Structure 1
Amino acid sequence: IPNRKVSIYTEGCLIAFMADVLIRRATENRNSLDDVMRILYNDFGKKRRGYSEKDIYRIIEKVAERPMNEFLDQYAYGRTDFRPMLEECLEYLGLKIKESDSVKYTETYLGFKSTEEGDKAIVRAIYPGSIADIAGLMLNDQIIAVNGNRVSNNMDNWCRFYAKEEKTEITLTIFSSFRQKELIIKPGISLGFKNYAVEKAKDLIQHQETSFKLWAGLSVY
């Protein structure tokens, strides 16, 4: 499905992070995902043996000292939104997600990402349901002009300039599927891309401070 794919590597990292924190929370920071990896290495890697998904499940639950099937079924195999669980795990460590607008106008307000390559900007991502998505912009479209102005590593600036006038429509001249055409976009309230960062929360309790230091490999003394 176009524009609906995710990276298995990114999702894998997030699942591993959440599993690590859940193990730490369940065992009061005595165990972690590190222990899971050590067991896998000692019991399988060193002995040149393969392992199955059932082996991984079993070892994770052994280290967590509690059932983990619900978590694994929901996040490794299901379609559960990661955000609530991520925030819960970050809170345990005294961290939080910081969300901010992208510095690029087209990403935040029109809903598409692009790479500017001289006399063209190539569309790399489109936010589902955004103004750009509704207007019909497609991945890999090449934007060569904004309201008749040829782009030269300044497509985002031109879009920002014309968007200042509320009644101004933005006409993108694009090459799409080897054909040149014009696409009209009306700036307004839109879904768009955000920037995300993780930062330390304020007013941490002692347990959060200790948990963060243990997770980060810092001295708790």
Structure 2
Amino acid sequence: MKFYISPSPSHPYFLDFKISFVCTTDDTLVKLPLWRPGRYQVQTFAKNIRNIGAESNGKAFEVRNVSRNTWSVLGSQEGDEIILHYEYYARHQDAGGTWVSNDFWLINGISCGMLPEGLDQEEIDVIIDFPLNFEVATAAVKKADSYHFSNFEEWTETPFMAGSKMHHQSFVMEDSMFHIWLHGNIQPDWTQIVTDFKKFTRKQLDIFGGFPHSEFHYLCLIPSFRHYHGVEHPTSTVITLGPAVDFNDTTFYENLLGISSHELFHVWNIKGIRPKELKPYPLFEEVYFDTGYVAEGVTTYFGDEILYRSGAYSKEQYKNELNKLLTRHFENQGRYALSVADSSLELWTDGYEKGIPARKTSIYVKGAVAALILDSMIKTKFDDQKSLDDVMKLMWERFGENSLGYTSEDYKTISEEVFEASLDEYFNNVIFGTDLLEDKVQEALHHLGWETEVNFPKEALAKYYGLKVDTKGIIVDTAARKTSQDLVEGDKIISINDIVGSVDSYQKMASQNDVLKVIYERDSQIFAKELYKKKELYFAKINVT
């Protein structure tokens, strides 16, 4: 099977695709992936396709859509040599999309490459007509004028970044070459970048006992607009981080290190240590798994922790990252409603959006908090002679190296093997339950050497009445543990205690008064409600000091 990709002569944002293959069935089907690994929700890639058609030896075939991501080549017969052609609108501006401009291309085969029926294990050659002034960055193997892949999954897991503003450096660690590609209007400080990348790479290799591939490519696109996204692959990662004008700022560099460390850890944890339900990736249908707290939560925890442990982050930098994590966890009212395991199962529903009030938690955030707790438990019991490192190394040896899928029960079994005792209470309450974690988090942080304090919002309406209000007086969040929801998200405060004032004045009244008479607007109607200050304080969160 061969793919030919070239720029459209009629539109700067379209790519022309031609796929040549031999039919394995009559009226053969061609499919576009429904989702991409790393983003567990339906992706409507098909909306980017137009003018699809097919031919064989000069004979044209009608190509008819039969489902949201499947087409049939009508009249084709088994054994026919078909050329399928279509145009693809390449403006999906994130690390997982296919995206072209006048000075760079990003091609992710997962988003734009169709698979003919029965050819998922067929070898693939891809010929790409890049602009002549572009430098190409990819982990793909090039043979003559084409890039060669052993099967469709390898093609979808090997992105290309090419452009006219490419910056490149590399380093060797053990027997592997690590390439850092940056594209954008920037001036990299390569000495600092390579030094820090070596630091966190060394620690990750130490955890797992080496690197499983001969090379790895960081494909970092630095656009002119604000962006933050990364997608993992076995031998590369695509990172989009902007804006380029901030490239030399400290916060930008911290983000570059943070996302790069996170994505490198994914080489082992999800690309190798993969949930059973994702072996192999069922790219053309939804698939549900409850171990997102391992795949993303453990990775989120280690991504920053390794930067600190390796010296790439200072103590102050890591403390700031911990506080960001804790703020995101404790401000999420959905943690009272749905466990992190169940939230993993519901990724396909609304896992990447805020959703309705207080519905779910985050596999990234609560998963990382859960990993921190388990790491502390292991280190405390064994006086730092064991840690979560040992759990992940065993997961790699038992599942990653052997290409076996794991389950939550497998992760629990290995964790208990390292802990040398039952972890029923931890898994029942932290992973599969919705228990409050305040005490566990404080205990874990203290065991890890951090001092903590409990803080409440400075805004009195939030602290005393459980109402977060924006600058226009609109309720944007409510404390989920209140016995009744007096005002709700979207309500707009008109006055408090018969005074129409600014939000600052309302906050002052909330601080000074035990009873508030609130006039508010809801669905274009005006309502009145008396709110009473109670002993309970709302929106508590733990801070590392």
Give the TM-score taking structure 2 as reference length.
Answer: 0.31
**Do 1:170 and 1:187's aligned partners in 2 also have CA atoms closer than 8 Å?**
no
Q: Does 1:122 align with 2:469?
A: no
Q: Between Structure 1 and Structure 2, whose CA radius of gyration is higher?
A: 2
Q: Does 1:160 align with 2:498?
A: no
Q: State the partner residue of 2:7.
A: none
Q: 1:40-98 deviations in whole A, cap 9, x for unaligned?
A: 23432344321112211121112223322332223222344323322332332333431
Alignment CA distance shift 1:40-1:168 (3 Å): closer
Q: State the partner residue of 1:205.
A: none
Q: State the partner residue of 1:102.
A: 457
**SS of residue matched to 1:55:** helix
Q: Does 1:149 align with 2:500?
A: yes
Once residues 508 and 412 of structure 2 are traced to their aligned partners in structure 1, the CA distance between those partners, rounded to angstroms, is 54
- CA-based RMSD of the aligned residues comes to 3.0
Q: State the partner residue of 2:405.
A: 50
**SS of residue matched to 1:196:** strand
Q: Which amino acid aligns with 1:92?
A: H
Once residues 83 and 195 of structure 1 are traced to their aligned partners in structure 2, the CA distance between those partners, rounded to angstroms, is 8
Alignment counterpart, residue 62 of structure 1, candidates 417, 436, 441: 417
Cα offset for 1:129? 6.2
Q: 1:128-150 deviations in whole A, cap 9, x for unaligned?
A: 565xx757211222335544526
Q: State the partner residue of 1:188.
A: 533
Q: Does 1:140 align with 2:496?
A: no
Q: Which amino acid aligns with 1:137?
A: L
Alignment counterpart, residue 86 of structure 1, candidates 423, 426, 441: 441
Alignment CA distance shift 1:115-1:53 (3 Å): same
Alignment CA distance shift 1:167-1:126 (3 Å): closer
Cα offset for 1:34? 1.8
Cα offset for 1:179? 2.9
Alignment CA distance shift 1:161-1:15 (3 Å): closer
Cα offset for 1:106? 1.3
Q: 1:94-132 deviations in whole A, cap 9, x for unaligned?
A: 33431233121211122111333xxx33322212565xx
Once residues 6 and 138 of structure 1 are traced to their aligned partners in structure 2, the CA distance between those partners, rounded to angstroms, is 17
Alignment counterpart, residue 172 of structure 1, candidates 509, 519, 525: 519
**Do 1:159 and 1:170's aligned partners in 2 also have CA atoms closer than 8 Å?**
no
Cα offset for 1:197? 0.6
Alignment CA distance shift 1:79-1:183 (3 Å): same
Once residues 69 and 135 of structure 1 are traced to their aligned partners in structure 2, the CA distance between those partners, rounded to angstroms, is 34
Alignment counterpart, residue 383 of structure 2, candidates 20, 28, 32: 28
Cα offset for 1:5? 3.5
Cα offset for 1:158? 2.4
Alignment CA distance shift 1:144-1:66 (3 Å): same
Q: Which amino acid aligns with 1:171?
A: V
Q: State the partner residue of 1:207.
A: none
**Do 1:135 and 1:184's aligned partners in 2 also have CA atoms closer than 8 Å?**
no
**SS of residue matched to 2:458:** coil
**Do 2:374 and 2:388's aligned partners in 1 also have CA atoms closer than 8 Å?**
yes
Identity among equivalent positions (%) equals 20
Q: When the two structures are aligned, how many residues end up with a matched partner? A: 188
Which has the larger share of strand? 2
Once residues 74 and 99 of structure 1 are traced to their aligned partners in structure 2, the CA distance between those partners, rounded to angstroms, is 22
Cα offset for 1:161? 4.0
Cα offset for 1:30? 1.3
Alignment counterpart, residue 112 of structure 1, candidates 457, 467, 471: 467
Give the structure, 1 or 2, with the largest relative contact order (CA under 8 Å, sep 6 or more): 1
Structure 1: gaps spanning 5 or more residues? 200-221
Give the TM-score taking structure 1 as reference length.
Answer: 0.69
Q: Which runs of 4+ in 1 moved over 6 A?
A: none
Q: Does 1:75 align with 2:430?
A: yes
Once residues 413 and 360 of structure 2 are traced to their aligned partners in structure 1, the CA distance between those partners, rounded to angstroms, is 27
